[in-house]
Amino acid sequence: MTVFRRSRRLVARSVTAAALVVGLAAVTPVFISPMSAQGAEGATSDCAAPVTGAPTGPATVSAESTPYGRVLVVGSGDQAGCSLYLLSSDRLHALTSAPFACSDNTNPTGAPCDAVLWPALLTEGAPIAGRGVNPTLIGTVPRTDMPFGVPVQQVTYAGQPLYRFFLDEAPGEREGANLFDPVTSPTGIWYLVDPNNGLPARGRPQVRLETAPVAGTGPDQTVLAVSMNDSFSLFADSSFPVYTLSTDRGHTSACEGQCAISWPPVLTSGKPEAGPNIRPHALGTIVRSDGSHQVTFNGRPLYLYVGDAYIPGIPGVSGPASINGAGLTSPWGTFNTISPSP
């Protein structure tokens, strides 16, 4: 595992996609090594270790306290204490039986999402509910799309598949928290997981202003935006434009199901923070149908647009920042940006 750890650290300390590609290339020899398989006897892997084959025993899921509140972590084995995540766009699989958004399908990095970038938490037999976990929420989903070609079971929580992140090198790291990820297909947001209900443990986002060109070519506009990618070393504390929906009325959102995959709601685990030049009393929340809390501005629910997601320097998803959802009409209504008050 020495080669893998050295490559991982090179990636984590880089701010360019070129270094990311180099790091992933260096992972490849380890990825095909049987000694690094999840659950393999004698393996000495870490939180970033790729999954290379079927597990040999049951996985355990536990909970621990973090700045995001209580969140799910791996409960035992070589990855004990490593952060676990759900992916918002994986809900498309549950809704339509479409492929998992994080799978072995081709992506711009050239590395399998479900085995290298976001290693799936696999289990042999029923997973075990560890400390602080609701046993009625833990389950499994079959995966036949892993790159090693063997059918396996992935651990789920409240129906959502669970993953690690390859930039989390050690227990307590949470680089994947609130990462707006254009590498998945479709684009989605990675969240830590609340053990009480399986909902995203979002923390408190900051609502701020961002200036970017409309549709990538201009003119530049300054619009309301929200903080994302909290501690993602390649693109930390970034911001993305937010939108309102014309059909929203009162304290409810008209964007559910497939709409919420293309236009993810801006979620919060507490009172959202007001950035510079944002009026704090303009911010609020509503409760969505699944029990999660969505940020509002002047009473209007806020959304992100998957077409705005990017990671600088990665071919195919490299940006730059752009306002791509302004005025778009969807089956659910028209989405518009919010200009700052004079």
Q: Is residue 165 part of a domain?
A: yes
Residue 21, pLDDT > 80, answer: no
Q: Using alpha carbons only, what angle is made at residue 219 by residues 213 and 221, rounded to the nearest 5 degrees?
A: 60
Residue 216, pLDDT > 90, answer: no
Residue 77, pLDDT > 50, answer: yes
Q: Are residues 64 and 125 in the same domain?
A: yes
Residue 18, pLDDT > 50, answer: no
Q: Are residues 282 and 308 in the same domain?
A: yes
Please name which of 26, 34, 75, 76 lies closest in space to residue 54, comparing C-alpha atoms.
34
Q: Is residue 197 part of a domain?
A: no
pLDDT of residue 342: 57
Q: Indicate the burial class of 330 (C-beta count within 10 angstroms; 0-12, 13-18, 19 or more).
A: middle
What is the average per-residue pLDDT within 218-242? 96
> 23 or 257: whose pLDDT is higher?
257
DSSP string for 209-227:
EEEEEBTTTS-EEEEEEEE
pLDDT of residue 38: 42
Q: Indicate the burial class of 178 (C-beta count within 10 angstroms; 0-12, 13-18, 19 or more).
A: buried
What is the average per-residue pLDDT within 59-66? 98
pLDDT of residue 217: 86
pLDDT of residue 84: 98
pLDDT in tens, 232-255: 999 999 999 999 999 999 889 999
- Mean residue pLDDT of the chain comes to 88
Model confidence at 10, in pLDDT bands (50, 70, 90)? Answer: very low
Give CA–CA dist 106/109, Å, rounded. Answer: 8
pLDDT of residue 20: 53
Q: Are residues 238 and 162 in the same domain?
A: no
Strand, coil or helix: what is 3? helix
What is the average per-residue pLDDT within 106-122? 96
Q: Are residues 214 and 332 in the same domain?
A: yes
Q: Are residues 169 and 250 in the same domain?
A: no
Give CA–CA dist 157/85, Å, rounded. Answer: 10
pLDDT of residue 41: 37
Q: Is residue 92 part of a domain?
A: yes
pLDDT of residue 35: 31
Q: Are residues 34 and 158 in the same domain?
A: yes
Residues β-bridged to residue 160: 157
pLDDT of residue 190: 98
Q: Are residues 93 and 162 in the same domain?
A: yes
What is the average per-residue pLDDT within 12-29? 42
Model confidence at 9, in pLDDT bands (50, 70, 90)? Answer: very low
pLDDT of residue 55: 96
pLDDT in tens, 246-281: 999 988 999 999 999 999 999 999 999 999 999 999
Residue 4, pLDDT > 50, answer: no
Give CA–CA dist 147/137, Å, rounded. Answer: 27
pLDDT of residue 218: 82
pLDDT of residue 231: 96
Which domain, by its residues, includes 280?
A: 206-337
Q: Is the dihedral of CA 138, 287, 70, 11 positive or negative?
A: positive
Number of domains making up the chain: 2
Q: Are residues 128 and 253 in the same domain?
A: no
Q: Is residue 214 part of a domain?
A: yes
Single residue among 192, 218, 246 that ends a domain in this structure: 192
Residue 25, pLDDT > 80, answer: no
Q: Are residues 186 and 295 in the same domain?
A: no
Label residues 313-327 b or e (16+ Cβ within 10 Å = b): bbeebebebbbbbbe
Q: Are residues 40 and 178 in the same domain?
A: yes
Model confidence at 166, in pLDDT bands (50, 70, 90)? Answer: very high
Model confidence at 124, in pLDDT bands (50, 70, 90)? Answer: very high
pLDDT of residue 6: 35
Least confident of 81-90, 253-262, 287-296, 313-322: 313-322
Give CA–CA dist 222/237, Å, rounded. Answer: 18
